[in-house]
Amino acid sequence: MLMRLWLLFMLCLLPTLGMAAMLEERVKHTHEGVTFESVLIYDNTNTAARPAILMVPNWMGVTAQSLAQAKQVAGKEYVILVADVYGETVRPKNPEEAKQAATFLRSNRPLLRARANNALDALLSAGLKAGADPKRTAAIGFCFGGGAVLELARSGRNIAGVVSFHGNLDTPNPGDAANIKGAVLVLHGANDPAVPGADVLAFEAEMRAQPQLDWQLVSFGGAVHSFTDPDANTPGRAQYHEKSAKRAFALMHQLFKEIF
């Protein structure tokens, strides 16, 4: 009888033990006098060296939702740093505050690039003990974060690839695409009102002007902005699109298998 109770207890405990393997660690880093608090996500049951992925979340910044998303992406395969590019005292509480914080950085692309690079440095430093392999690095971003990782690539950082999910595509200096070192994958909602067709055409022209680049732009029919966000529910503007989301993440994993 006691043995049966013990086995039942262990079976009930297994799901909890599995969840406990996925860790969250706060990582402080500074740039030009501003302190940031990013979050390192990794599965500590995997002791092998794994690719290091910088994740810049949407304009709401580091939230419970972005951390949950990072855990899904990380699994046992990657070490991820959810990047704080606003500063530890800036935590938007609503879309109005998020717009203000994101606009501040989008209006100063050199600063956005510098903060993204600083977050990547923090990942490569803090991630070592978690099994991050500094020789295998990439960046992903969502909405505002998608535009941020494209600017990281344009800054010339030596990373294997960047993936933008429904991100901003415009840039003040298209010629900076010549600095891109790794592969570029843009996953775009074909009906996204936040990224007009003119921006898509300009991005394609920017990429084509650099024939050495390895780039893809995939447009998902029927999808609008934020199509990978299960909480997005503004029809016609920002809305979850399950089929496109699954396909987009599959393409991300496929690219990572190629570049790593």
Q: What is the percent of the chain where pLDDT is above 70? A: 92
Give pLDDT, residue 1.
44
Cα(171)–Cα(150) distance, integer angstroms: 9
- The mean pLDDT of 242-250, rounded to a whole number, is 98
Give pLDDT, residue 11.
37
- Segment among 1-10, 109-118, 119-128 with least mean pLDDT: 1-10
Cα(56)–Cα(22) distance, integer angstroms: 19
pLDDT higher than 90, residue 113: yes
Instruction: Please calculate the CA angle 179-204-250 and round it to the nearest 5 degrees.
Output: 90
Q: What is the percent of the chain where pLDDT is above 90? A: 91
Provide the sign of the torsion angle of the four alpha carbons 229, 231, 235, 238, taken in this order: negative
Structure tokens belonging to residue 198: 């003119």
Average model confidence (pLDDT) across the chain: 93
Segments in 133-241 forming alpha helices (H): 144-154, 197-208
Cα(240)–Cα(219) distance, integer angstroms: 15
Q: What is the pLDDT of residues 168-214, one digit of tens each?
A: 999 999 999 999 999 999 999 999 999 999 999 999 999 999 999 99
Residue with tokens 């595509």: 169
pLDDT higher than 60, residue 69: yes
Q: What is the pLDDT of residues 54-68, one digit of tens each?
A: 999 999 999 999 999
Considering only residues 9 and 20, tell me which one the structure prediction assigns the higher pLDDT. 20
Provide the sign of the torsion angle of the four alpha carbons 219, 223, 224, 228, taken in this order: negative
Q: What is the pLDDT of residues 11-45, one digit of tens each?
A: 344 444 444 489 999 999 999 999 999 999 999 99
37 Rama sector, left if φ>0, alpha if ψ -120 to 50, beta otherwise: beta
Cα(35)–Cα(88) distance, integer angstroms: 6
Give pLDDT, residue 10.
39
Give pLDDT, residue 47.
87
Helix (H) or strand (E) holding 116: helix 109-126
Structural fold of domain 21-259: Rossmann fold (3.40.50)
Cα(61)–Cα(101) distance, integer angstroms: 9
Instruction: Answer whether 0.75 is exceeded by the pTM.
Output: yes
Give pLDDT, residue 215.
98
Give pLDDT, residue 259.
97
Give pLDDT, residue 66.
97
Counting Cα atoms < 13 Å in the Cβ hemisphere of 135 gives 1
